Amino acid sequence: MRNSRGSHEVFAYGSLMNPKFVEELLGKSVKLVPAKLEGYKKVQTPGRKYPAAVKHPTSSIKGELLLNLSSEDVKKIDKWEETPENLYVRIKAPVMTKDGVRKAFVYITKKEKIKQSS
């Protein structure tokens, strides 16, 4: 989600929490800060190695917030998150950090993909 400085922020709860992986993916280092996504649960989908976020009213996911991303950076992350098998969709959601609530992009699982893998 674009912040007041004109850059974007993405909440990460899987491979994007690894700074070295993000640097390889984007071709630059990115600042990450601890964050939490309320109202979602991290699950491991059967037959896949990547975690998935699904709505769950009493759960939360601890992760990292990627800061100061360009639109081009978000496009690269979009391309990465389309694998495997177009499992994710990008939404805007409030994310908690030590400095308060911030709006960020979050990649959540498409419901039909979870049902297919169950």
Highest mean pLDDT of the ranges 51-55, 68-72, 88-92: 68-72
User: pLDDT tens, 4-53?
Assistant: 556 999 999 999 999 999 999 999 999 999 999 999 999 987 677 788 89
Q: Is the confidence at residue 112, as pLDDT, over 60?
A: no
Q: Which of 51, 111, 101 is nearest to 81 (CA)?
A: 51
For the chain, list the domains and their CATH numbers.
Answer: 8-112 (3.10.490.10)
Indicate the pTM of the whole model.
0.86
Q: Is the confidence at residue 115, as pLDDT, over 50?
A: no
